[in-house]
Amino acid sequence: MKRVWIYQADRFFTQPELRLAEEKLADFVREWTAHGSQLAGLAEIKHNLFVVFTVDEAMAQVTGCSIDKSVHILKQLEKDLNIGLFNRMLISYRDKEGNIQLVSRDVFAALCQEGEVNADTPVFNNLIQTADDISTKWEVPFKDSWHASVFQCK
């Protein structure tokens, strides 16, 4: 099984930041181990907003220490790029034109009340845990996401 961890930035990466972050992540993944075993990992930045780690656990199991190492590299990126990667109070969704938007929970709630966000609005579920879920459960209609249990949309 391929496990994933998704970290949403608190703003979109600029192109120079994206290149630097991708370099640092690639360097990290080449050295990423769990109890001395090389992890079959991948780190990528999707949509200039999401850092996605993927590990094929058929090759080597992820451990608490290896997860801590991934968090450490993200903390370093936060410092180097002045970007936040652990703010869980932001919601990402696609607007009516299909562009990804990133807003606070309060703004998202207001957009729901105004009808700008509705049952069919695509939202990102960064809580998924497997690589297979990326294609089917990561970007889903509001009505099919955890968001529907927290926010009331028209």
Provide the domain limits for residue 124.
90-150
> Tell me: the pLDDT tens digits for 41-78?
899 999 999 999 998 887 878 878 888 999 999 999 99
Last-in-domain residue among 29, 54, 81: 81
Q: What backbone torsions phi and psi does residue 103 show, to the nearest 5 degrees?
A: -140, 165
Is the Cβ–Cβ distance between 16 and 96 less than 8 Å? no
Whether residue 77 sits in one domain with residue 94? no
Residue 33: both structure tokens together: 């181990």
Which residue type does 55 have? V
Whether residue 72 sits in one domain with residue 17? yes
Task: Give the model's pLDDT for residue 33.
Answer: 76
Distance from C-alpha of 11 to C-alpha of 66, rounded to nearest angstrom? 26
Whether residue 75 sits in one domain with residue 34? yes
Q: Residue 47: left if φ>0, alpha if ψ -120 to 50, beta else—which one?
A: left
Task: Give the model's pLDDT for residue 148.
Answer: 94
Task: Give the model's pLDDT for residue 16.
Answer: 97
State the DSSP H helix or E strand holding residue 105, giving kind and residue range, or none if neither: helix 105-114
Task: Give the model's pLDDT for residue 93.
Answer: 98
Sign of CA dihedral 55, 89, 73, 35: negative
Task: Give the model's pLDDT for residue 122.
Answer: 98
Distance from C-alpha of 152 to C-alpha of 51, rounded to nearest angstrom? 28
Whether residue 102 sits in one domain with residue 54? no
pLDDT averaged per 10 residues, the chain (length 154):
95 97 94 78 95 87 86 96 96 97 97 95 96 95 94 85
Number of domains observed in the structure of the chain: 2
Distance from C-alpha of 82 to C-alpha of 124, rounded to nearest angstrom? 23
Which residue type does 103 have? V
Is the Cβ–Cβ distance between 4 and 54 less than 8 Å? yes
